[in-house]
Each structure stands twice: as structure tokens, then as C-alpha cells.
Amino acid sequence: MTLADTKYRTLIVEDDPDSCEALARLLRRVGHDVECATSAGEALVKLEEWAPDCVLLDLMLPDASGGLVLRKIRNTQLNCRVAVVTAAHEQSLILKHATAFNPDAVFNKPLDYTKLKDWLAD
């Protein structure tokens, strides 16, 4: 397999199915294998079973905060980059809690796809 054949595994954790599918289509076009999780619980299972290289993480999920997922990634030292994708304002407690676990990037909704693609290419 050559480097050009290498696909990155990206887990999108987003409870809105339309947003997840639009983002998944974009990532597939730039060479990523993509899985979606619609809850924190589902994300935790996919992290363990699928071992993504990158996680795009919504913070407001139906069963728990996305910060819980980020904490698990950091505490178990999973080898993946994590970008928080959120509509929460800068002073939000949910965002402050998540940033305490050092996400690799924070993107505000509505998502700027050019900035996301640039970050993924780094």
C-alpha cells in the first residue's frame, strides 16, 4: 500500500443525522473512511472497536456531554486527534469542561469546511 492509498479513519460524533451525513460526504471526498456515532455511548464503543485516527466531536449529545468522550480519549491515551465542533458560546460550561481535556482544535457551528479540511490535512 502506498501513502496515496492510505485512508484516514474519522469518527464523526453528531446527533443530527443530516449534519453527520453532509460532513461524512465531504470527508469521504478528501480520502477518509468515515463512521458516524449519534450518542456518547455509541462513540465510546466505536472508539474501542474501530480505532479512528481523528474524531470530530459535537458536545451536546442526547445521552451525555461530548466532553465525556474527549475525557475518555485523553485518559486512555488513544492515538487520535480530536476536534470539538460546537454551537456553544465561549463562556459555556460545557465548552469549558471539554477544553480542559485539550482538544486539538475547536470549530464553531456553522462549520467552516475550508478550515476543517486544512486542519485535517495537517
pLDDT for position 116: 94
Cell of 12: 464523526
- What single letter denotes the amino acid at residue 79? N
pTM of the entire predicted model = 0.91
pLDDT computed for residue 122 by the predictor: 83
Look at the domain 3-121 and name its fold: Rossmann fold (3.40.50)
What pLDDT score does 74 carry? 96
pLDDT for residue 121: 87
Q: What is the pLDDT of residue 6?
A: 60
pLDDT in tens, the chain (122 residues): 334 456 899 999 999 999 999 999 999 999 999 999 999 999 999 999 999 999 999 999 999 999 999 999 999 999 999 999 999 888 889 899 899 999 999 999 999 999 999 999 88
Which DSSP letter does residue 104 get? S
Q: Are 8 and 28 in contact (CB under 8 A)?
A: no
Q: What pLDDT, on the 0 to 100 scale, is given for residue 4?
A: 46
Phi, psi at 84, each rounded to 5°: -80, 130
Name residue 85's beta-bridge partners: 58, 107
Cβ contact 57:65 at 8 Å:
no
